[in-house]
Amino acid sequence: MTQRHTTLGRFPTTRLRRNRRTGWSRRLVAETRLSVDDLIWPVFVQEGRGTRTPVASMPGVDRLSIDLLVEAAKEARDLGIPALAIFPETDPKAKTPDAREAYNPGNLVCRAVSAVKNAVPDLGVMTDVALDPFNSDGHDGIVRDGYVQNDETLDALIKQAVVQTEAGADIQAPSDMMDGRIGAIRRALDDKGHVHQQIMSYAAKYASALYNPFRDAIGSSGALQTLNSVRDKKTYQMDVANSDEALREVGFDIEEGADMVMVKPGLPYLDVVRRVKDRFGVPTYAYQVSGEYAMLRGAADRGWLDWNKVLLETLLSFRRAGCDGILTYGAVDAARLLTAKR
């Protein structure tokens, strides 16, 4: 192992500000880089044609019909963004307690994936593997007797991952936090011949209060059923107090076949990102979630923050903590800013 010099400089011989004095010097000594290659853009799709619906709790974010989503995908490709993550607003009439619409090959997600891949084949497409957009209870799994059932949910998740893959999705991203789902999905995909299909596991997904705007966007907030007298997902998502447990979750998912892992949310959990990256050294991602985005964008819209500056600063902090990439609703804005810097 290379030994670092531990002798400390002393003022005035050593002046740390020398390296900060000019822009070219700051670039030379920068320890962390942020590029368009580090971005994944989460997008929301809705039924209809030529329709765009603003998400009130996420300023600047719209739900898009499939035709407009295709145009957005082309813009992402042209900006150099590597991948989209597609999330649906499902018609409430299609939602059922068993969430069977999740594995309907003709559902909104599958149609959107096929349209994007046909139009922009060189853009990566990631799809969520979880039941909350399709579940009339609003939960990520199937509810029986006031509890989200783990093993019954796995059967639905497997079928969901298969139909999304067959629609053309490149990365399956299980976000449900059921035990054993990565191994179950990996085996099912391999059995179907999809051995090259990537899995990005939401390995350490916390029961955070920062998800509400996302639930507004996919239409699940009103459906979320009260379990154990609490309107939350604490029986399957992680306790916000725990980080040792996150390492166990990540370790299990890697053993079961995850190609990449994710920590969610982002900024409040950068300590977890650092621990995961240091322990496992696998491709590690974080999600700058809807609540994080809404706070920054809402403050910027009121003139309290400079949106461009806080966006790039926060994304760079993800990279500094060890992220190989970031899911952010600000991906297009960030890509434009980074491209303009070249």
Instruction: Show which residues are catalytic.
Output: 205, 264
Backbone φ, ψ for residue 209 (5° rounding): -85, 5
Within 10 Å of residue 152's Cβ, how many Cβ atoms? 14
Q: What is the dihedral of CA 206, 257, 45, 301, to 10 degrees?
A: 40
Q: What is the dihedral of CA 231, 234, 238, 244, to 10 degrees?
A: 140
Helix (H, G, I), strand (E, B) or coil at 33: coil
**For the chain, how are helix, strand and coil distributed in percent, rounded to 5?**
45, 20, 35
Helix (H, G, I), strand (E, B) or coil at 200: strand
Cis before residue 265, ω within 30 degrees of 0?
yes
Please spell the DSSP secondary structure of 303-324, one letter per residue.
TSS-HHHHHHHHHHHHHHHT-S
Question: By the 8 A CB rule, do 112 and 86 touch?
Answer: yes
Q: How many angstroms separate the CA atoms of 267 and 290, rounded?
A: 12
User: Taking Cα atoms as reference points, which of 61, 200, 75 lies closest to residue 129?
Assistant: 200
Alpha helices of 196-330 — where are they, by DSSP H?
212-218, 244-256, 270-280, 290-301, 307-321
User: Taking Cα atoms as reference points, which of 73, 27, 41 lies closest to residue 342?
Assistant: 27
